[in-house]
Amino acid sequence: MSGETIITVVGNLTADPEMRYTGSGVPFASFTIASTPRTFDKQANEWKDGEALFLRATVWRESAEHVANSLTKGMRVIARGQLKQRSYDDKDGQRRTSYELDIDEIGPSLRYATAQVTRTQSREAGSQASSGGGWHSPSSGGGFGSQNGAASENSGGFGGGFPDDEQPF
């Protein structure tokens, strides 16, 4: 689709992702990412936090399950997706606008932590993404271990393209 606003946000999860399902059974996970700019104040010789941005985010389908099984409150993440604007009337009849991120890709930031990646079998086993060079799906997400190094049982999404002994991880 033309004209989409795609952004990348780096921040911390304010709570564990909340896993839910649509009426037709499609899984999705919702959560908030807090991103706080920091600047160094030379006169005070200290770091100062700016005003935090709290951005509500949603991830869909198999990626939602990976996120719910892999990411927890406080984790620093890098998320990429489409910024969406939604207008509505509140209970007092006032017109309000909210901004939300419809996530395509998300994973932990490795700036201050480590992660262990564990592949899972895709629900569409055997299929290969036409443009992924062996990756099952560009939005299949990755399962990343907790900050203590424990790996998730649900992650990845690798559908072929490499012999077992030549897989990239």
Flag whether pLDDT at 113 surpasses 50. Answer: yes
10-14, 136-140, 165-169: least confidently modelled range = 136-140
Q: Is CATH 2.40.10.10 what the domain over 6-37+49-166 is classified as, yes or no?
A: no
- pLDDT digit string, tens, across residues 5-27: 999 999 999 999 999 999 999 99
Annotated domain spans of the chain: 6-37+49-166
φ, ψ for residue 36, nearest 5 deg = -120, 115
Residue linked to tokens 């910024």? 83
Tokens of 80: 């990429």
- pLDDT digit string, tens, across residues 26-63: 999 999 999 999 999 999 999 999 999 999 999 999 99
Task: Judge whether 49 and 14 are in contact, CB under 8 Å.
Answer: no
Mean pLDDT of 120-139: 46
Q: In terms of pLDDT, which residue wins out, 142 or 124?
A: 124
| Residues pairing with 144 in the sheet | 117
Residue 114 to residue 108: CA distance in whole angstroms: 9
> Per this entry, what is the length of the chain?
169
Confidence of residue 153 (pLDDT cuts 50, 70, 90): very low
pTM of the model: 0.67
Over the chain, what is the mean pLDDT? Answer: 78
| Per-residue CA distances from 105 to 21, 100, 157 (Å) | 19, 15, 13
For 60, the enclosing helix (H) or strand (E) is strand 53-60
Q: What pLDDT was estimated at residue 122?
A: 67
